[in-house]
């Protein structure tokens, strides 16, 4: 899909006080949509992820690069009194502000909703915290794996007879970032009717519980919990990892039609006729025998053979991240972009969004710390070179 218009959020300005994942992932999407995202960072190191362990490019960690493309960086020490004047000047010209400080920190810095809404009543202000801004748990810190644990996700995940397992990716942060993006778009639409901004609050814990969705409703409706099933499905079969000649493949055949189609394509009608496998209930009861029979079939050919032969079914090879990113599907979907960077050209992920008329703008890199300080202070705050130099000498900006 090729769009030729302007990005959907072009003309919007976002003040991004957030760090790490949930907030930055949200504002990265807003930047992809064309918003002018000004990332406000502490001059002493910036976002916590800038110096994370692992590979880096041009002095920036892979972790920071993953969540901050397309933004401008303003290095501003929020503990300095002069910084608040700068924030207020920017807030007066912005549509959205977002922060993920622990409850009470924004108030202490003078950048809470009440303070910034007084400057700009049309401002959409987003607060992200672990357990909400109010209530008996609001003072607790929260990190993704702990929230997975407390929401019941880890208890659902892992081998049937083994310990609970976390998801290795920061899925709660990612879910929360998507909820934040949706909430911002909704609040912006509401503003067209009311003329006013509003405060949007998101808690990582709420996002984690919401993500349990059908598993939660299973308990709320029936009073029982879905059984842990490892790589399989608790109620459907065949849904599991099988072993082809050169590695694992995954089948997700969750209904009778797909099962019968599989048996035809692998030329094993006897499996469909076997009483042990004839119905979903029977396959569930005899799942060990079912997977043993299918492993014997799949082990005769490589993964590529099965991917092509079973193209009409939800079947695919289990790939590493490297195999996926260097593979033909990612190339066809243009999900990896090459962008310019002061450290040399670099590859990064692209946006998953595709609009017919309003293109995303995902071909920009993440900023260097303070890269746009002078630009923002000069063009948006009206400060001259001498005043900026004075603020820099005072340690207010960098």
Quick one: tokens of 65? 């690069």
Helices (H) then strands (E): counts for the chain = 19, 13
Q: What is the mean pLDDT of residues 274-280?
A: 98
State residue 4's pLDDT score: 72
148: Cα within 13 Å, side-chain hemisphere: 21
Quickly list H helices, the chain.
22-32, 62-67, 81-91, 105-109, 113-119, 144-150, 153-156, 171-194, 204-211, 213-222, 256-265, 269-273, 280-285, 287-298, 303-309, 321-325, 328-333, 373-379, 385-393
Indicate the CATH number for domain 239-325. Answer: 3.30.1540.10
pLDDT tens profile 61-96:
999 999 999 999 999 999 999 999 999 999 999 999
State residue 280's pLDDT score: 98
The span from the CA of 24 to the CA of 185, in Å, is 16
pLDDT tens profile 355-384:
999 999 999 999 999 999 999 999 999 999
Residue 212 — pLDDT band, cuts 50, 70, 90?
very high
Indicate the CATH number for domain 13-211+343-393. Answer: 3.40.50.10540
pLDDT tens profile 12-48:
999 999 999 999 999 999 999 999 999 999 999 999 9
By 3-state DSSP, what share of the chain in percent is helix, strand and coil, each rounded to 5? 40, 15, 45
pLDDT tens profile 136-195:
999 999 999 999 999 999 999 999 999 999 999 999 999 999 999 999 999 999 999 999
Listed in order, the ranges of the chain carrying CATH 3.40.50.10540 are 13-211+343-393
Listed in order, the ranges of the chain carrying CATH 3.30.1540.10 are 239-325
Beta-carbon contacts of residue 264 (< 8 Å; ≥ 6 apart): 272
Q: What is the mean pLDDT of residues 93-120?
A: 98
pLDDT at position 341 over 90: yes
CA distances from 309 to 264, 276, 314 (A): 11, 25, 12
State residue 2's pLDDT score: 67
The span from the CA of 379 to the CA of 324, in Å, is 43
| Selection from 158, 156, 172, 255 nearest residue 215 by Cα | 156
State residue 166's pLDDT score: 97
State residue 355's pLDDT score: 96
Q: Which of 62, 199, 233, 372 is catalytic?
A: 233
φ, ψ of residue 137 in degrees (nearest 5): -110, 5
| Selection from 216, 215, 205 nearest residue 147 by Cα | 205
The span from the CA of 162 to the CA of 150, in Å, is 18
Residue 313 — pLDDT band, cuts 50, 70, 90?
very high
**What does DSSP assign to residue 101?**
P
Q: Evaluate whether 369 touches 72 at the Cβ level (below 8 Å).
A: no
How much is the CA Rg of the chain, to the nearest whole Å?
25
Average pLDDT of the chain, as a whole number:
97
The span from the CA of 42 to the CA of 83, in Å, is 11
pLDDT tens profile 285-296:
999 999 999 999
Collapsing DSSP to helix, strand or coil, 303 comes out as: helix
Is 233 a catalytic site residue?
A: yes
Total residue length of the chain: 398
State residue 1's pLDDT score: 63
Beta-carbon contacts of residue 122 (< 8 Å; ≥ 6 apart): 95, 191, 195, 196, 197
**% of the chain surpassing 90 pLDDT:** 98
Collapsing DSSP to helix, strand or coil, 203 comes out as: strand
């Amino acid at each position: 899909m090729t769009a030729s218009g302007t990005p959907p959020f072009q003309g919007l300005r976002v003040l991004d006080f957030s760090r790490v994942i949930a907030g930055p992932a949200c504002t990265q999407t807003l930047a992809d949509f064309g918003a002018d995202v000004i990332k406000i960072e502490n001059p002493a190191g910036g976002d916590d992820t800038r110096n994370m362990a692992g590979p880096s490019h041009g002095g920036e960690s892979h972790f920071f690069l993953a969540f901050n493309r397309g933004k401008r960086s303003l290095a501003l020490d929020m503990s300095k009194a002069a910084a608040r004047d700068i924030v207020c000047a920017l807030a007066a010209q912005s549509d959205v502000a977002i922060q993920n400080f622990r409850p009470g920190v924004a108030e202490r810095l003078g950048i809470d909703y009440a303070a910034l809404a007084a400057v700009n009543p049309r401002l959409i202000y987003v607060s992200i915290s672990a357990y909400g801004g109010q209530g008996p748990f609001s003072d607790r810190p929260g990190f993704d794996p702990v929230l997975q644990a407390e929401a019941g996700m880890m208890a659902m995940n892992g081998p049937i007879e083994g310990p609970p397992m976390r998801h290795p990716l920061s899925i709660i942060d990612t879910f929360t970032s998507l909820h934040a993006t949706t909430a911002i778009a909704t609040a912006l639409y509401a503003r067209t009717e009311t003329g006013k901004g509003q405060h949007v609050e998101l808690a990582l814990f709420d996002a984690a519980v919401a993500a349990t969705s059908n598993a939660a409703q299973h308990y709320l409706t029936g009073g029982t919990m879905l059984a842990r099933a490892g790589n399989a499905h608790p109620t459907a079969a065949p849904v599991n990892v099988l072993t082809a000649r050169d590695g694992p493949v995954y089948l997700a055949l969750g209904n009778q039609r797909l099962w019968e189609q599989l048996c035809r394509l692998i030329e094993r009608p006897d499996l469909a006729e076997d009483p042990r496998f004839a119905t979903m209930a029977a396959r569930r009861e005899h799942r060990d025998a079912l997977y043993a029979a299918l492993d014997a079939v799949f082990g005769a050919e490589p993964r590529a053979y099965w991917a092509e032969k079973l193209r009409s079914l939800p079947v695919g090879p289990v790939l590493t991240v490297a195999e996926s990113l260097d593979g033909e599907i990612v190339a066809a979907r243009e999900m990896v972009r090459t962008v310019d960077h002061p450290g040399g050209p670099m590859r990064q992920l692209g946006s998953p969004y595709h609009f017919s008329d309003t293109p995303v703008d995902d071909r920009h890199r993440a900023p260097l710390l303070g890269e746009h300080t002078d630009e923002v202070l000069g063009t948006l705050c009206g400060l001259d070179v001498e005043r900026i130099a004075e603020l820099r000498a005072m340690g207010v900006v960098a």
